[in-house]
Amino acid sequence: MSFEQTSQNPALLTAMPELLLIILACSLILSGMLLLWTNWQKKQSSPWAKIVGWTLVSLATPFWITAYGPEFGITFELIIIALFAWALIVINYDLKPLKALPRSQINAKASSNKKRIGAQVIAVIVLCPIVSLCLSLAFGSLLPISLPDQLVVEALGFPIIWSLFAIWLCYTKKFWQLCTLLLVLSLVYIWHTFG
């Protein structure tokens, strides 16, 4: 280990191998998620089980940060949480046959939902990324940190903002008003930046 590696890494990394840190972090995340999952499956969920589950998941963060640094450590932790969640979903997936709808209901629902779903897909694919990019750039530029750190915050915030807007667009009753608001937000940011 060179001087640069020793000076950048905390004492825990020199005391424990990186593989052991990753195994500890993954086991904490997995145990916390299993506790949350089993608590969620019960009819009477316990608030203490939720607190302990989320505490176990959050206790993995220092191990990831120690192994890979703050930016990559948090990113890898979020990726592992998502992979474990998808694994739990696939393991517990129960395939049930769908019930057929009467022919009259199919035609009425299909024609009314076709335009809205098409507009939602276009808004989620085109409008949400533009607005989330504008907002993450605006938020990052307001932070009193160096430019590389601003870029990291913007890169981590971009998909989160995009997903929040996408979820909001898919579940709102006022779809066109929200699309107009998002379009106005992006135009205001573009005018402020380039105008």
Residue 13: pLDDT band with limits 50, 70, 90: low
pLDDT at 173: 84
100: tokens are 């057929």
pTM over 0.85: no
Q: Coil, helix or strand for 10?
A: coil
Task: Please report the sign of the dihedral spanned by the C-alpha atoms of residue 55, residue 82, residue 85, residue 173.
Answer: positive
| Residue (of 97, 103, 29) closest to 62 by Cα position | 29
Model confidence pLDDT, tens digit, residues 73-126: 888 898 899 888 888 888 887 777 777 766 665 565 566 677 777 888 888 888
Model confidence pLDDT, tens digit, residues 59-73: 999 999 988 888 888
Residue 51: pLDDT band with limits 50, 70, 90: very high
| Residue (of 56, 53, 22) closest to 37 by Cα position | 53
Contact at 8 Å (CB) between 1 and 14?
yes
Distance CA 28, CA 33 (A): 8
Please state, rounded to an integer, the average pLDDT across all residues of the chain: 82
Residue keyed to tokens 């992006």: 186
HSE at residue 49, side-chain half, CA atoms within 13 A, is 14
pLDDT at 22: 92
| Residue (of 87, 90, 33) closest to 60 by Cα position | 33
